[in-house]
Structure 1
């Protein structure tokens, strides 16, 4: 039977972690006091419309915003030439300008501290690897980043402002109340176990079929991101546990069929979001929103990483582990030989309240108590996306929670027991929700300190054109891994990478510029997916571990090898395609 990590080794790791954290604190103080921020111009182009009265406006978050004051680019204090000459933060936060082609742009200033910008994310990841304790590691990264930004009041200046943001509050509502409550009621009614029994009887005959069903569900829920992760993870957990599939295998399958499949089967919110970031003046095939969405879909055949990631999970589901890495093979052997779904020293994110059923005496679970809420959840999420253009995930989980409670009451369960199940569910996910909250904060701090901007600024226009796709891949992998977000990386990288790619097309006389732009687009799209998928501070990584009951760092370490192999194969293909066919 596998042995636990020796206590002396863990103490040594903790000591190294403490020394590393102290060094990071001192480095953060030094950066704050002695490293001046380097200010960078960021320009954004929106689909601007002008009415009969000459008033220009654009749509932002489904609201029309009026553009009331415009200056020439040369006269703006936020252009790069003026930003290079300032020693204090600019007084303007943003300004609309017109360039030489009379194109309207929104300029915003941003800054970075050079390589020091990576410190908050870097210390978080190092502490995670050393201590295997994500909560303290994330908190350590938040402290280091707050010191760099001069926000010494951690509660009032860092945590509360981030919690007050709409996106963070929505995450906590969804994953603490709605997801936790739903899992708790399913545990109380025995619905999840009834579903596992039903699937085992009719479809799942062993470990292989359990993994194949999980993979197919990942294909079915192609909305991507947190929604797919939670939906697939909560659905497959009971049947996979019953079939004795290791939690490392399941968390890898769930994570690698979330964002990767969403970037291939892109009938979701991704194209609408990304298209707004890739406009380049004068480029005909990126001129209109319809052109840019069409460009997204035409680029899908070059999403090599996502394809390899999905294929890798399929091979694992079929018990072909040649590309899975040593850790997943060891986890598979452990589960098959000893029946252990977790390593002996694992600290699963899923709490004890959600790992067993507590069905009241006389209550008989039924599989429909799991299937009907799940169908309702999926129908509302997909239906709202089709009708409204965005999936209403909170509506979907709220309706599923309400339906589960009503069905339990109709079948005779007392209100006290339903409320008890709901409370157990909240207790079961509260720890993971705190980790999720800190992950959002560290991602926000990493973006604010300018880690992504610094990495992109390392690129120049004097590269051989065929090198650019793989370099963009590497840069976006690092940004997304450091910030824990693919969509946040898109907001940083696309407005810089696409104009850079077009400039190289023009300066080096690329024969097929549209193909080259598709390759560069795909590398940014896929590199960001890899970094997000593998980062220990990513919400999808945390939720994959939480919903499948896996230790977070076991999940991170076990999926890193197959994901890195997929990224390596993809990088080779992107480079060869650029060299041979562009």
Structure 2
């Protein structure tokens, strides 16, 4: 059946998946049932038509009415077959998706190796003396996230892997770390020259191709991208919100409950939580024979260095500038190669320091694959939901209703809401890919103004990031929970309390800009000036809601702030005089030549 003929039914599989995920906390199962429901809906009319023909040939009375009932069961069976096809196609037909799967498995192997070789223990011990407060840990995670702007998946992997054990030692909840990582990674990637920018620029080009403008009248997609940045308000304010929360150490909603639990009990995950990965539980105790900081930091640095080198190499062509390199780079391949280099580095240290044989390292690598199985399963099913959305024409159905209410002033908000919904149903890139080529010609036809095109582009990006941050089936949300060791549903439930106010403030600022046009025209600088106002509004929201919620829950906010670090670890990390990381005599005085 052709896409776009399913109407309101096209939304049902998404609702089924999301509601079941929230109720059962079984994200993979919920997503598969959502895909199955999509398959059943996709084949229901074909099933009833087939049954009607068959029953009429048999001369059975009321064949059409009976086929409507029996069609549900036939469509269920047919839909199950279709759902398995979509699951396979979501990976098998996409080189990019397969590369992300391989990257996740390899990164799991690297994490397992670093744990087994004592690198995680070493960095946690080091952090005891250097990153000694939750505020410092939060700011470190936020700052590293800003620096790792080139790709959100790599960002989540690097920051989550680096900061997880440090934050655990300081009794920061895994939900809080997952929020810091998730609300920094995608937003900063969509504001800079990154893998996101490359995709965004191609979508802007596609949008302008749908207008009646000639090539000489069409502005540079890069110029439109730059002009869209101040209007990508959700991304900018989400990054600011993380800083406000970390610096003020004020939480509210589910996050306040999580932080109070972690501070009071040391339990960094909830009692019923199902962490996306639990390295200690699955890999056992590490080898503490010779824990070294470089076992942790060097592989991470290799990951970053090879990733950057891969981007420059794959995007380079004779005479190409930085802009052309960024646009033409193969980010997914660079991620895979960098992960291979990271694993190879851990193998080198295992051999160089005599901590594991090659055979033992291979076994550890395979165990690393296993700790990522849950996350990869959810990723695959989330991509499969994207197949359902495409087949049922969900995006076209939602966009069709939005078009009926468009005016230049509310165009921005409608585009943000539609983009958020489309991203919420699966993936922000899919939302941007579907909506940007529509929003660009609409903005141009309504106003004949390129600034409004940039506004529409910024609105698409803002909505897409917000949809990601509030969806339990978004790949970036899944990966943020994975690399921080958080429970996926707990991550979404805590983050949504911060994402919604940021989105509301962003919408308000967009409306002020839009309806203030008679005063200041369509000025980009007015949007820039409105952003500090948005930050002040978020400060007020955080301080107000945190106090109200703390009073309601009878929680003293002081109890969830930085505590005495020496009491925060289940196993105190006091160093003996001869410990390799102590200030005293080292066990191995051989100069490091590696």
The reply to whether TM is greater than 0.5 is yes
1:555 aligns with 2:491: yes
Following the alignment from structure 1 to structure 2, what is the Cα–Cα distance between the partners of residues 156 and 316? 42
Give CA deviations for 1:441-496 in whole Å, capped at 9, x if unaligned.
112222221111111111236633101101111111011001x2111111110111
**Is the 8 Å Cα contact of residues 115 and 286 (structure 2) preserved in structure 1?**
yes
State the match for 2:292 in structure 1.
366
Aligned pair partner of 1:486 in 416, 420, 428: 428
Aligned pair partner of 1:235 in 153, 162, 165: 162
Taking a change above 3 Å as real, the CA distance of residues 190 and 284 of structure 1, as seen in their structure-2 partners, is farther
State the match for 2:379 in structure 1.
436
Q: Once the 2 structures are TM-superposed, how far is the Cα of residue 224 of structure 1 from its aligned partner?
A: 3.4
Q: Secondary structure at the match of 2:4?
A: strand
**Is the 8 Å Cα contact of residues 375 and 478 (structure 2) preserved in structure 1?**
yes
Q: Secondary structure at the match of 2:203?
A: coil
Aligned pair partner of 1:146 in 39, 53, 62: 39
State the match for 1:305 in structure 2.
234
- RCO higher in structure (CA 8 A, sep ≥6): 2
Taking a change above 3 Å as real, the CA distance of residues 525 and 156 of structure 1, as seen in their structure-2 partners, is closer
Q: Once the 2 structures are TM-superposed, how far is the Cα of residue 116 of structure 1 from its aligned partner?
A: 1.4
Aligned pair partner of 1:459 in 397, 402, 422: 402
Following the alignment from structure 1 to structure 2, what is the Cα–Cα distance between the partners of residues 214 and 446? 34
Taking a change above 3 Å as real, the CA distance of residues 154 and 213 of structure 1, as seen in their structure-2 partners, is same
Aligned pair partner of 1:343 in 270, 276, 280: 270
State the match for 1:163 in structure 2.
91
Q: Once the 2 structures are TM-superposed, how far is the Cα of residue 343 of structure 1 from its aligned partner?
A: 1.4
Q: Once the 2 structures are TM-superposed, how far is the Cα of residue 514 of structure 1 from its aligned partner?
A: 2.6
- The equivalences for 1:416-565 within 5 A come to 416-460=359-403, 463-482=406-425, 484-506=426-448, 513-565=449-501
The number of equivalent residue pairs is 461
Following the alignment from structure 2 to structure 1, what is the Cα–Cα distance between the partners of residues 214 and 497? 40
Aligned pair partner of 2:202 in 266, 276, 293: 276
Aligned pair partner of 1:375 in 278, 301, 307: 301
Give CA deviations for 1:292-340 in whole Å, capped at 9, x if unaligned.
112101221222111111111111211342xx53111111111112211
Taking a change above 3 Å as real, the CA distance of residues 140 and 201 of structure 1, as seen in their structure-2 partners, is same
**Is the 8 Å Cα contact of residues 135 and 249 (structure 2) preserved in structure 1?**
no
Following the alignment from structure 1 to structure 2, what is the Cα–Cα distance between the partners of residues 164 and 463? 39
Q: Which structure features the higher share of strand residues? A: 1
**Is the 8 Å Cα contact of residues 469 and 496 (structure 2) preserved in structure 1?**
no
Taking a change above 3 Å as real, the CA distance of residues 147 and 303 of structure 1, as seen in their structure-2 partners, is same
**Is the 8 Å Cα contact of residues 473 and 524 (structure 1) preserved in structure 2?**
yes
**Is the 8 Å Cα contact of residues 350 and 550 (structure 1) preserved in structure 2?**
yes
**Is the 8 Å Cα contact of residues 402 and 418 (structure 2) preserved in structure 1?**
no
**Is the 8 Å Cα contact of residues 188 and 417 (structure 1) preserved in structure 2?**
no
Following the alignment from structure 2 to structure 1, what is the Cα–Cα distance between the partners of residues 24 and 404? 41
State the match for 1:189 in structure 2.
117
1:292 aligns with 2:189: no
Taking a change above 3 Å as real, the CA distance of residues 544 and 271 of structure 1, as seen in their structure-2 partners, is closer
Q: Once the 2 structures are TM-superposed, how far is the Cα of residue 380 of structure 1 from its aligned partner?
A: 1.3
Q: Which structure features the higher share of helix residues? A: 2
Taking a change above 3 Å as real, the CA distance of residues 492 and 257 of structure 1, as seen in their structure-2 partners, is same
Q: Once the 2 structures are TM-superposed, how far is the Cα of residue 155 of structure 1 from its aligned partner?
A: 6.9
Taking a change above 3 Å as real, the CA distance of residues 112 and 208 of structure 1, as seen in their structure-2 partners, is farther
Q: Which runs of 5+ in 2 are unaligned?
A: 44-77, 316-328, 523-594
**Is the 8 Å Cα contact of residues 180 and 426 (structure 1) preserved in structure 2?**
yes
State the match for 1:577 in structure 2.
513
Q: Once the 2 structures are TM-superposed, how far is the Cα of residue 352 of structure 1 from its aligned partner?
A: 4.9
Following the alignment from structure 1 to structure 2, what is the Cα–Cα distance between the partners of residues 575 and 453? 25
Q: Which runs of 5+ in 1 are unaligned?
A: 1-36, 38-88, 90-109, 507-512
State the match for 2:148 in structure 1.
221
State the match for 1:9 in structure 2.
none
Following the alignment from structure 1 to structure 2, what is the Cα–Cα distance between the partners of residues 492 and 551? 30
State the match for 2:15 in structure 1.
122
* 453-462 vs 441-450, greater mean Cα deviation: 453-462
**Is the 8 Å Cα contact of residues 498 and 520 (structure 1) preserved in structure 2?**
yes
Taking a change above 3 Å as real, the CA distance of residues 307 and 184 of structure 1, as seen in their structure-2 partners, is same
**Is the 8 Å Cα contact of residues 360 and 417 (structure 1) preserved in structure 2?**
no
Q: Secondary structure at the match of 1:466?
A: helix
* 487-496 vs 219-228, greater mean Cα deviation: 219-228
